[in-house]
Structure 1
Amino acid sequence: MTPLDRKNGEHTMTDAQPTGAQPGLPSAADVRSLVARQKSALLAEEARKRKAAEEELKHQKEMFLHRTVTPDFVAHLTTRIGNAAANGEMQLLLGRFPSAWCSDGGRAINAREKDWPSTLQGFARDFYDFWERELKPRGFQMEVAIVDFPSGMPGDIGATLSWKEGDRA
């Protein structure tokens, strides 16, 4: 930016620095440019974080879909049940997962349809089968429900294991 322009042989001021201006004092255009660069950098960082979060969720879903109930998992579950019982609890939150990971987006669970287990996938389905085979005959009950509704839509599904007397699965 040039503070002076020649016009008919005379020096005239442009919108740069007025006469007697302090050196280093920025122009409004300089400040607007700085603000624009800052906003652009913030938007780029937000986009990077959003993409990283999407990639992490994609990775978690892949892990969820391929995970199975293992002897180590059963040992960990047994410890968690024992700890909950020792603390006087009658139930245990097993975990949460996005309703989008069900084949119907959680619709059958939300509507409490009889065949909701058929919509489970991956680890949720494997755990449900484990519960049917091993835990239900031992008197444990399991309840699944949509536990949050972001923007009015089904969010996460929570699974709870209970050993209350008289509960129904």
Structure 2
Amino acid sequence: MSQSAATHSTHHLGDEAFMSVSDLKSYVAQVESAKASQSYAAIQQAENAKRDLIDKLMKRIDITPERTHAFMNRVKLAAERGESEMQVVRFPSEMCSDHGRAINNTEEGWPDTLVGAPRQFYELWKADLQPLGYGLKAMIVDWPAGFPGDVGMFLTWK
């Protein structure tokens, strides 16, 4: 191949098939920026959803006979499937006065850290379900970035 053909070929490949290192770096930076903005948007959306859930769970729930009947039907169905527990509420550990520390350490006074609907469910269990033989346990059910995330409260039976 002649010198002019090699130069022409390299020039042709450089213009149409290959990008320069600076173009590649710019492209990677744009892709990373797009990923970060999408990730930021997803994080913001998740944080907004968590705040909405906390707001909702801070309010007392109206316990109607229909709700009680539907709840007990869910318990019966779980028992029929051979299960011995059912998660009844899941909420961010931020709703606990100690951010879930007592629950994570299974301390005796963990119910005292509850507020809102989780506290209401605990009180309902204590007054109405515990005398019927049902148990209640609470545990941290997820660990985002190694920190306590959501708390799950489970109605138990044997």
Q: Under TM normalisation by the shorter chain, which class is it?
A: 0.7 to 0.9
Amino acid at match of 1:143: K
Give yes or no for the alignment of 1:96 onto 2:90. yes
- The 1-side partners of 2:57 and 2:101 are apart by 19
Give yes or no for the alignment of 1:139 onto 2:133. yes
Amino acid at match of 2:91: F
Q: Could you tell which deviates more after superposition, 121-130 or 27-36? A: 27-36
Structure 2: which 5+ residue stretches go unaligned?
Answer: 1-6
Give yes or no for the alignment of 1:55 onto 2:48. yes
- The 2-side partners of 1:84 and 1:50 are apart by 34
Give yes or no for the alignment of 1:119 onto 2:116. no
User: Equivalences for 1:129-168 in 2 at 5 Å?
Assistant: 129-164=123-158
SS at match of 1:142: strand
Give yes or no for contact 1:69–1:126 (8 Å, CA) kept in 2: no
- The 2-side partners of 1:32 and 1:148 are apart by 37
Give yes or no for contact 2:140–2:149 (8 Å, CA) kept in 1: yes
- State the TM-score, normalized to the length of structure 2: 0.77
- The 2-side partners of 1:143 and 1:53 are apart by 27
Matched pairs, number: 147
Relative contact order higher in (CA < 8 Å, ≥ 6 apart): 2
User: Equivalences for 1:36-51 in 2 at 5 Å?
Assistant: 36-51=29-44
Select which of 43, 51, 72 maps to 1:78. 72
SS at match of 1:66: coil
- State the TM-score, normalized to the length of structure 1: 0.73
Q: Percent identity?
A: 36
Q: 1 or 2, which has the higher helix percentage?
A: 2
Cα 1:33–1:103 shift into 2, 3 Å:
same
Residues 76-120 of structure 1, C-alpha deviations (whole Å, 9 max, x = no match): 211111101222333222233222220111122233333221110
Task: Report the aligned-residue RMSD.
Answer: 2.5
Give yes or no for contact 1:69–1:123 (8 Å, CA) kept in 2: no
Structure 1: which 5+ residue stretches go unaligned?
Answer: 1-18, 165-169
The aligned counterpart of 1:12 is: none
Residues 119-169 of structure 1, C-alpha deviations (whole Å, 9 max, x = no match): 1011100101111121122221212223444555333322221232xxxxx
Q: Could you tell which deviates more after superposition, 147-156 or 122-131? A: 147-156
- The 1-side partners of 2:23 and 2:145 are apart by 41
SS at match of 1:105: coil
